[in-house]
Structure 1
């Protein structure tokens, strides 16, 4: 019996090795994307020519280290590292907030079809129905992950690759956005009936004077309230991530980042994006292979 148990154990051990070897390797770290490369170029392209040279990259990195080193002792403490990042993040969030508000003014004008100076419930729901029908690509009256992405009209040029924004607001331009905004019970789907009912309720909440129309101020104030809540949430999340990055850069775990540690992290990041090793990074280069992220910020 002992011999049989030993043989069975050996068989199971060998079999498990074959099973492990047969499984495809799972990607580790953050998958490089054109959007993440565009973000890298946006952050380090000093002369805005679409290419980040090794010299530009080194100059920006030095500026960030010097700016963060508030007491000029040659190292970054946690609060110095986070504060330097927070200053850059706040500037970006402010600029994107202004852009979102500008787009909202344009949206108000587009919704006000009869140019009455306000948005009626009919105008509001008409816009909502168009958005629903566009995303409901299988035309079953339900938005879910079963809906294929809408096809681009024939002959229309693809959107240019853009850097990732710091601020992301859920929108009705995708299945994910629709679910984030309207899937209240979390079942992964939104029926048209539930969608229009939720929009009616939102219209009434926004119509503060109860006159049955949304003024430009009412529409804008409701959006700005959601916008500022999203900014606060984004800021909190991003600063927590900065603390995680600090721990990763602090290789000797002495609770501070030396100039050498900071530079080594930057060297790894630049080399990762510079896939043709020509000391410059542009959108024309191939993306890096999928590997553990060496992001530095």
Structure 2
């Protein structure tokens, strides 16, 4: 069974070996910062120290990933192979995101522990709730997290710093508004559930354990959604509906992805590619 490590190694190897095939012609001053779309593409596919990816490099990488996905080496990719390879990579992203969230728990705990006695009292917890509620009152018209933030956090953990996050965390009756009674009830229930030893305050271990539980529940939901989406993508890419994806079918999505990032059409994704116009086709960046 081919693994994520093999795919990562292939990415580094094939792009480095194909570097000599890249040609660029500069006819105007080159921007120093890539557009968001080009930057996202380069973040996935450029080798370390490189600031561009040519079509030849990208196609070579795609062929290597296709071969790695074909775990039984029969020359084609079936649905389960496609899903398994995607989930291997997605699991790495989820694990990284989970570790990052847990790293922040100590910082959050210390911020809530205003008297620095190593515990969050109910008064300190409620004071934080008042600050959260005041922020929500000022920002009920705020938008949800940006697409860039969602990309950075595959776990998509809701946060009380956004209006949509507040709804997900506290809107118990799902009417699109968080009222104070809902907020207070949910906060009180969370404090009680977190206070495992029932001593009226929260230790770092209790605080972390409660958050870990929510992280893992969210991971299960997000991973299940990712698997469903992968199966939908396979069905869309398997254009002849024979249950087997050829490289040509597989590469159709890669071509769309590259074309969107290579917005100036010169065959190279780099800082010279302007942001695509609004409404331009957006290819899925995970395949």
Of residues 145, 148, 154 in structure 1, which corresponds to 2:141? 148
Of residues 221, 227, 238 in structure 1, which corresponds to 2:209? 221
Q: Distance in 1 between matches of 2:162 and 2:96?
A: 24
8 Å CA contact retained: 1:45, 1:56: no
Of residues 213, 219, 222 in structure 2, which corresponds to 1:231? 219
- The aligned residue for residue 112 of structure 2 is 111
Q: Which moved more, 1:102-111 or 1:188-197?
A: 188-197
Q: Distance in 2 between matches of 1:35 and 1:131?
A: 31
- Matched residue SS, 1:275: coil
What is the number of equivalent residue pairs in this alignment?
248
Q: Which moved more, 1:174-183 or 1:276-285?
A: 276-285
Written as runs of structure 1 = structure 2, the 5 A alignment for 1:25-44 is 38-44=39-45
- The aligned residue for residue 95 of structure 1 is 96
Provide structure 2 residue ranges, at least 5 long, that are not aligned to the other structure: 1-34
Q: Distance in 2 between matches of 1:107 and 1:56?
A: 43
Of residues 206, 210, 216 in structure 1, which corresponds to 2:198? 210
In structure 2, the CA distance between the partners of 1:36 and 1:169, relative to structure 1 (3 Å rule), is farther
- The aligned residue for residue 73 of structure 1 is 74
Pairing 1:290–2:273 present: no
8 Å CA contact retained: 2:257, 2:283: yes
Q: Distance in 2 between matches of 1:217 and 1:36?
A: 41
Deviations 1:198-219 (A, max 9, x none): 2122101110111000010111
- The aligned residue for residue 28 of structure 1 is none
Provide structure 1 residue ranges, at least 5 long, that are not aligned to the other structure: 1-33, 139-146, 151-158
Q: Distance in 2 between matches of 1:194 and 1:180?
A: 12
- The aligned residue for residue 20 of structure 1 is none
Deviations 1:238-287 (A, max 9, x none): 01100010111111111111112222331222112211112233466222
Q: Which moved more, 1:85-94 or 1:187-196?
A: 187-196
Deviation at 1:71? Answer: 1.4
Written as runs of structure 1 = structure 2, the 5 A alignment for 1:47-196 is 47=48, 49-137=50-138, 147-149=140-142, 163-196=151-184
- The aligned residue for residue 32 of structure 2 is none
- The aligned residue for residue 261 of structure 1 is 249
- Matched residue SS, 2:138: coil
Q: Distance in 2 between matches of 1:176 and 1:148?
A: 10
TM score, norm. by length of structure 2: 0.78
Q: Which moved more, 1:241-250 or 1:122-131?
A: 122-131
8 Å CA contact retained: 1:51, 1:280: yes
Deviations 1:52-78 (A, max 9, x none): 432442243223211101111221011
Deviation at 1:181? Answer: 0.4
8 Å CA contact retained: 1:46, 1:56: no
